[in-house]
Amino acid sequence: MEWNFEIAFVLIILLVMLAVLVADLMRPGLVMFSACVLFVCAGILSPEELLAGFSNKGMITVALLFLVSEGIRRSDALGHMISRILPVKAGKKPTVRKGYSKLMPTVAGISAFLNNTPIVVIFIPIVKEWAAKAGLNVKKFLIPVSYAAILGGMCTLIGTSTNLVVHGMMLEEGFSGFSMFELGKVGGVIAVAGILYIILFGNRLLPSDKTPEEAAAEGTGKNLHKIEAVIGPRFKGVNVPFKDFDFNKRYGASLMEIRRNGEPQTDTDSLILKEGDTLIIEADDSFFTNWGDSSEFMMISNGHPHRLPAPKWKKWVSVGLLAIMIAGATFGQMPRIKALAPGVDLDMFFWVCVVTVIMAVLNIFPAKRYTKLISWDILVTIASALAISKAMTNSGLADMLAGRLTSNISGEVSPMIVLASLYIVTNIITELITNNAAAAFAFPIAMSAATQLGVDPMPFFVAITMAASASFSTPIGYQTNMIAQGIGNYKFRDFTRFGLPLNILAFVISMILIPIFWKF
């Protein structure tokens, strides 16, 4: 396809958008929505196509899963479970490797069915307290917790929003989408291999911090504690100059230090506060009471888990509802089950709707505050990404890029080379911006490449789904990595050193297994 105005316009806007996302100048959702508005102004997208993403099944499923995950979190079922898994017995000091062998499969298993972020937020304070009691270095555990959550999310349809984004785009294009455990054919193997990698090499490759005895010395004065808080999207000081923001007046606590990318920030006069920054605070116990359940902070920790009081029945009911949702989505598409409810599509969307309503009625999550429990920026990002995908198709940019990908001087290239190229490009993008955006950019190119090669697009769809989730080499590609970096005070290079081999491992496994399970 030849160059034209629409192709050039879309390409230029996308490159500017990527630069703004990498520079972290604005929230991803707003950046991508702004690009969509420009495409509407240029006549490349219709208003209906822009709004279509906001009614996409995958996006709404993601929104409801935030509420289900919040219900599980507030029931304290996960905190109760992990406390039993990681006991510290008198006279039996555990090793780092034994900690990995218990912790990593647990985190990955839970993350296959719940949103990654609340899992990491719940587990990190518990793991920090356990490591201090066991006399182990906490820096050996926080990155692995984030990685295990990512690995678990690659195993099921609902494990991460990325899987649901690709699933939703497939449905829009007339494909059947993914079944509940279909991605596990590859994602499950990657998860097992990744956990083994963490167990074998985590202690050797991850950095060491101050001694556990020093880390345990949290008191800074009478009734005062050293508290670490990771700035969330609703924090009132986001994108505000630090010198103009009165932290003490708003939060009733003293701000001792600000960390970004694992580095203490010394030039506070010119510092602009950003989501993901870690604040070291001196405060009393009332800080937890006032802000421990607030979305202004992604996480608050003083080395001890902040357990929400919940009656015992909520633990069992929330876990039972989660099991019903998983079983319903898994078996609901079987012909015999569908015959029992003619006219009703018993898919993942149906079951997550039912479970969300039941949780709200039973007050497992606070129904009056449900809007504050959803990450709206992620939803706007997903909806905008779907519109951007449509703009790439409408303008011809997807066809042109696919044409470059599927041919060379000597003619057509093999589908395997295209599969590998799509994976690598998607993986690089997801390490620099957001996983959902990376999947949405790659999807129209994958579909067009399959059409030009005359092959089934399913292997390409699976490849971009795996690649968009496999964010291990940088802390900026995945929110859980940012949380681990802020609380663990890791350097950027710590993620690259430990995560890059995991990226390569995921790539190799994907290239071997995808063509076996999904033929071209």
Q: DSSP letter at 26?
A: S
Cβ–Cβ under 8 Å, residues 329 and 347: yes
C-alpha distances in angstroms, 257 versus 124, 254, 283, 485?
A: 20, 9, 13, 15
Residues 6+ apart with CB under 8 A from 380: 29, 30, 32, 33
pLDDT at 211: 47
Please give the share of the chain, as a percent, with pLDDT higher than 70.
92
Q: How far, rounded to the nearest angstrom, does the alpha carbon of residue 337 sit from its chain's CA centroid?
A: 32
> How long is the chain?
520
Tell me the three-class secondary structure of 177-213, residue by residue: CCCCCCCHHHHHHHHHHHHHHHHHHHHHHCCCCCCHH
pTM for the full predicted model: 0.82
* pLDDT tens by residue, 449-462: 999 889 999 999 99
Cβ–Cβ under 8 Å, residues 150 and 201: no
**In the predicted structure, residue 217 carries a pLDDT above the cut 50:** no
Q: How far apart are CA 370 and CA 295, in angstroms?
A: 12
pLDDT at 195: 96
Q: How far apart are CA 408 and CA 89, in angstroms?
A: 63
Tokens of 382: 């997903």
Angle at 231 between CA 225 and CA 235, to 5 degrees: 110
**In the predicted structure, residue 357 carries a pLDDT above the cut 90:** yes
Cβ–Cβ under 8 Å, residues 205 and 91: no
C-alpha distances in angstroms, 230 versus 251, 298, 300, 301?
A: 14, 5, 7, 9
Across 299-308, average pLDDT? 64
* pLDDT tens by residue, 481-518: 888 887 888 888 899 999 999 999 999 999 999 999 99
Give backbone dihedrals phi and psi of 468, rounded to 5 degrees, phi first: -70, -25
User: Higher model confidence: residue 51 or residue 22?
Assistant: 51
The amino acid occupying position 500 is: L
pLDDT band at residue 216 using 50, 70 and 90 as cut-offs = very low
User: Higher model confidence: residue 396 or residue 2?
Assistant: 396
**In the predicted structure, residue 326 carries a pLDDT above the cut 60:** yes
Tokens of 388: 């951007």
Tell me the three-class secondary structure of 310-357, residue by residue: CCHHHHHHHHHHHHHHHHHHHHCCCHHHHHHCCCCCCCHHHHHHHHHH
Which residue's structure tokens are 């990593």?
104
Give backbone dihedrals phi and psi of 396, rounded to 5 degrees, phi first: 95, 0
pLDDT at 495: 92
DSSP code string of 150-169: HHHHTSSTTSSHHHHHHHHH
Q: How far apart are CA 293 and CA 310, in angstroms?
A: 14
User: Higher model confidence: residue 172 or residue 41?
Assistant: 41
Tokens of 355: 């479970």
pLDDT at 255: 84
pLDDT band at residue 26 using 50, 70 and 90 as cut-offs = confident
C-alpha distances in angstroms, 178 versus 160, 173, 341, 466, 482?
A: 13, 13, 21, 13, 29
Please give the share of the chain, as a percent, with pLDDT higher than 90.
31
pLDDT at 269: 75
pLDDT band at residue 302 using 50, 70 and 90 as cut-offs = low
* pLDDT tens by residue, 96-149: 898 899 899 999 999 998 888 878 877 888 888 788 778 888 899 999 999 999
